[in-house]
Amino acid sequence: MSAAQWTRRKVLNTAAGTAALAGASALAAPGVAEAHGGRPGPHDRLRIIAIEEAILLPGLITQGTALNGAIPFKPEVTAEWFKRLPDVTEYRLADMDANGVTMQVLSLTPPGVQMQPDAAIAVRDAQVANDAPAAVIAAHPTRFGGLAALPLQDPRAAVREARRAIRDLGMAGFLVNGHTNGHYLDEPQFRPVWAALEELGAALYLHPTPAPTGDWGLLKDRPELVGPLYSWAAETGGHALRVVLGGVFDDFPGARLIVGHMGEFLPYMIPRLDVQIRNINTKVPLKRKPSAYLTRNIAITTSGVMDDNMLQAAIRSVGIDNVLFAIDYPFERSEQAVGFLREASLSPGHRRKIASGNAERILKL
């Protein structure tokens, strides 16, 4: 047993909310075959790690999910999501096995702890939110990893929780659901958090949030634009650019940010960013062009964008080593996401990198 697996087993009986998430022992994960020419075939096995996979935990004081806002989701769709969000062993493992998913990396569904106005409660909720999946991971070390929550309302406590999550709980990295009560990750108070992430060698996944920071006239009378159709990508991509323009990666060159949904528009904007940055007096002088940070410090996932043309463009823009597979379970269908991965126009080596190799390297899985 590896040291990481031993650590995960050590916390098995310490987690709050374990009964709601832990279950029967892990089932064997079927492999996905890969044949000559890059297409799936009967001989080679493909290890698939999905890294943006949501859970909903009991016991949190901070309430709310991405499903209870102004987005006009169909009731029958949200009912299915709510059935699957708190579950691990009844629906989730069966879904993984049916679709050849080796591992899901679990994270707290938005808004997570980011919208809690009381810093002390945010710290408590982050601990609960990290203990529970750590126990699940300890019970199923080959099937699940975890991205820990960070109580950014108290940056010093967030640093302590970051170290505990990695060193004691064996988590693979972190996930932050958008802004924290209107505060963004480029702001000075978060520099100690970035320093800790660089010290730990741990990546941070920047996920969309359903919580608006104010009125956006563009969305007026068009609730369809709120959420996955448009606003989440624009807001999350803009947040990532704030991190770049704030000089975070100049101060912490070893820091890693992951953004989902094929890069939240960013890969397709790289040429324009590099041209226009020359025309703008930036508040913080940058050492490099935006493209350098978007290929060195930022990785992207495929979650929710299951199109080969978009994938090929993203690979050309950010590089094959910066593209990771994600399903966005249960909000997206595993069979569609995995089918896209299997059928994408990729060499066997590139398919393995996207399917699991890049996640193993960046998240140390």
Catalytic positions, please? Answer: 328
Consecutive H or E run containing 359: helix 358-362
303: number of Cβ within 10 Å: 24
Beta bridge partners of 323: 300
Say whether 286 sits in a helix, a strand or coil.
coil
Among 255, 236, 238, which Cα is nearest to 178's?
A: 236
Beta bridge partners of 87: none
Beta bridge partners of 98: none
How far from 248 is each of 31, 150, 231, 317, CA to CA, in Å? Answer: 39, 18, 24, 21
Instruction: Write 33-38 long-range contacts (CB < 8 A, 24+).
Output: 34/348, 34/351, 34/352, 38/345, 38/346, 38/347, 38/348, 38/350, 38/351
Among 165, 21, 150, 6, which Cα is nearest to 93's?
A: 21
- 8 A C-beta contact, residue 68 and residue 89: no
Among 355, 121, 350, 71, which Cα is nearest to 232's?
A: 71
Report whether the peptide linkage leading into residue 330 is cis, meaning its omega lies within 30 degrees of zero. Answer: yes
Please report, as a single letter, which amino acid is at residue 254.
G
